[in-house]
């Protein structure tokens, strides 16, 4: 199994998929050209809204992958999305709204075909929501539930949950007059852990990714990853750290 699970597609004031293009190029090295792309998380892309957003999303990603000499075939453009998955050399899932993504994956009966292909060795790339769905469930997404999926169950390629775009508690404003009054990201994840005490959450900060080969994981990027477990102080992994599926 080979996975590249990216926290975010774009850093501030950078081109789309800019920061992670070298990482994607490295990951794709030696693979064939046929990429099956799932654009289902793209509900509003480039001024186009669902379902026209799927075409806009595919075009945006294809422009980037032209740099790698890779052709993208979006599952939404086929009458038989499962066949697209079965014939793919690479499976790629873009970011956006995780609830919409999971709803469409279940509606099109893609969960099991994708999981089978990836477990058999087809490389998988996901960013943001696309990384979230590599987990057992979508329960650690940051997104608004704009639709109700058939199930919260996802691909279960890794045995832990990912929280993409993990951010630390908000600082006070300089003038100390305005403060964030709601829950921090860690508080919300602690709530998840309180009712899912056996699970572990990996908080992927911007500019980081998990490179997975079988059960060997390497943290790539420039920032630390936070590790959250019920009843324990948060831990961390540094860029370049190598660890297993238990994140230890």
Instruction: Supply the CATH number for residue 77's domain.
Output: 3.40.50.880
pLDDT at 172 over 70: no
- Asked whether residue 9 is domain-assigned, the answer is yes
pTM for the full predicted model? 0.95
Looking at residue 63, what is its pLDDT? 96
- Asked whether residue 63 is domain-assigned, the answer is yes
Residue percentage of the chain with pLDDT more than 90 = 88
pLDDT at 178 over 70: no
The reply to whether 80 belongs to the active site is no
User: What are the residue ranges of helices labelled H in the chain?
Assistant: 21-28, 52-65, 81-86, 98-107, 111-119, 129-132, 185-195
- Asked whether residue 248 is domain-assigned, the answer is no
| Domain around 197 | 2-243
Number of domains in the chain: 1
The reply to whether 76 belongs to the active site is no
SS3 assignment, position 38? strand
pLDDT band of 168, cuts 50, 70, 90: confident
- Asked whether residue 170 is domain-assigned, the answer is yes
Contact, 220 vs 209, CB < 8 A?
A: yes
Average pLDDT over residues 78-103: 98
Give tens-digit pLDDT for 198-221.
Answer: 999 999 999 999 999 999 999 999
The reply to whether 241 belongs to the active site is no
Cα dist from 166 to 101, 170, 194, 239, whole Å? 20, 12, 19, 15
The one catalytic residue among 53, 165, 168, 180: 165
Which residue reads 């750290």 in tokens?
241
Looking at residue 121, what is its pLDDT? 96
Give tens-digit pLDDT for 25-80.
Answer: 999 998 778 899 999 999 999 999 999 999 999 999 999 999 999 999 999 999 99
- Asked whether residue 208 is domain-assigned, the answer is yes
The one catalytic residue among 9, 53, 74, 128: 128
């Amino acid at each position: 199994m080979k996975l590249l699970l990216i926290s975010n597609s774009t850093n501030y004031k950078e081109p789309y998929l800019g920061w992670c293009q070298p990482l994607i190029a490295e990951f794709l090295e030696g693979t064939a050209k046929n990429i099956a792309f799932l654009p289902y998380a793209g509900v509003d892309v480039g001024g186009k809204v669902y379902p026209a957003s799927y075409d806009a999303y595919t075009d945006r990603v294809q422009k980037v992958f032209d740099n790698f000499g890779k052709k993208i075939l979006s599952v939404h453009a086929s009458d038989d999305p499962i066949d697209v998955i079965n014939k793919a050399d690479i499976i790629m899932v873009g970011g956006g709204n995780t609830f919409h993504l999971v709803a469409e994956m279940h509606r099109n009966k893609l969960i099991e075909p994708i999981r089978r292909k990836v477990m058999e060795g087809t490389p998988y790339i996901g960013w943001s929501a696309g990384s979230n769905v590599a987990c057992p469930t979508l329960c650690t997404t940051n997104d608004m539930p704009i639709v109700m999926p058939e199930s919260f169950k996802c691909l279960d390629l890794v045995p832990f949950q990912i929280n993409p775009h993990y951010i630390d508690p908000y600082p006070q404003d300089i003038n100390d007059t305005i403060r964030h009054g709601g829950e921090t990201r860690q508080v919300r994840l602690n709530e998840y852990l309180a009712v899912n005490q056996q699970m572990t959450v990996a908080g992927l900060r911007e500019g980081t990714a998990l490179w997975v080969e079988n059960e060997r994981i390497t943290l790539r990027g420039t920032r630390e990853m936070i590790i959250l477990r019920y009843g324990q102080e948060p831990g961390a992994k540094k860029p370049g750290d190598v660890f297993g599926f238990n994140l230890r």
